[in-house]
Amino acid sequence: MRAPQRIVLPHEHGAWMMWLVPLAVGLAITPWHLSKPLLVGAVLFAYLASYPLLQALRYPGQRTYWLRWAAGYGVVAAALGIPLVLMRPSLLVVGFAALMGFAVNAWFARLRNERNLFNDLVAMAGLNLTVVAAYIAGAGVWSDRAWILWGVCMSYFFGSALHVKSLIRERRNRWMKVWAVVYMLAVPVALAWLLQPLLAVAYLPAIARTLAIPQSHSLRAIALGVIEIVCSVWFAVWLIVLY
């Protein structure tokens, strides 16, 4: 078990990108509104609070320690979130959906089965909701475009998850690499078939890295992480330019 540290921060680096990238896209393509900085702060501290909450379920013996951090982060998230929902009441729906997703994650954490594929998908779906929240904060209304962007982000990060699994946890599973390659090729092809060829360009660096890095690679985890960040930044910038 990881020893307690002075500042409790989530260690899942990929998860950071899964909410930061959609959030940045949603903020960049909508008009300025005072609710936007409140949303950024509320989402950040809500995410920070989620980590110690899950840790409290994993390690009941240190529950008090973890819950103390969760409460601290949660207070800040609530302080920012209350005026936020007063400005944009529709965000309550997004928050409720994210909360239901977190409840599923908490259940799997309690069972010590967090690597379950369904749990991964639910967590990804919840994190990617930041694009919908940011869109509402800026535009002030629901829009099909917000949910389309959510689906696009989901399709991208699911492919990233398959790729990373094939190189680390499932490195000896050759079929995982096959599925990662097939998926990353199929998504842009499907988009092009749906007459969205410019949107398919957002996936090009991700396709290149999936094809270029074999399971027998000698890259360190930090190098793989940097590659993922570069691909994700390209994905975000392309979506912002396109929309």
Domain boundaries, the chain: 1-140, 143-243
State the virtual CA torsion across 108, 13, 44, 114 in degrees, nearest 10.
Answer: 0
Q: DSSP letters along 25-45, please?
A: HHHHTS---THHHHHHHHHHH
What pLDDT is stored for residue 5 in this prediction?
56
DSSP 3-state assignment of 89? coil
What pLDDT is stored for residue 13 in this prediction?
78
Low-confidence residues of the chain: pLDDT under 50:
1, 3
Among candidates 231, 187, 237, which has minimal Cα distance to 213?
A: 231
Identify the helix (H) or strand (E) that includes residue 228: helix 221-242
Contact 9, 52 (CB under 8 A): no
Does pTM surpass 0.95? no
Contact 125, 101 (CB under 8 A): yes
Contact 39, 137 (CB under 8 A): yes
CA–CA dist 8, 4 (Å, integer): 8
CA–CA dist 228, 234 (Å, integer): 10
Cα angle: 12, vertex 14, 18; to 5 degrees:
115
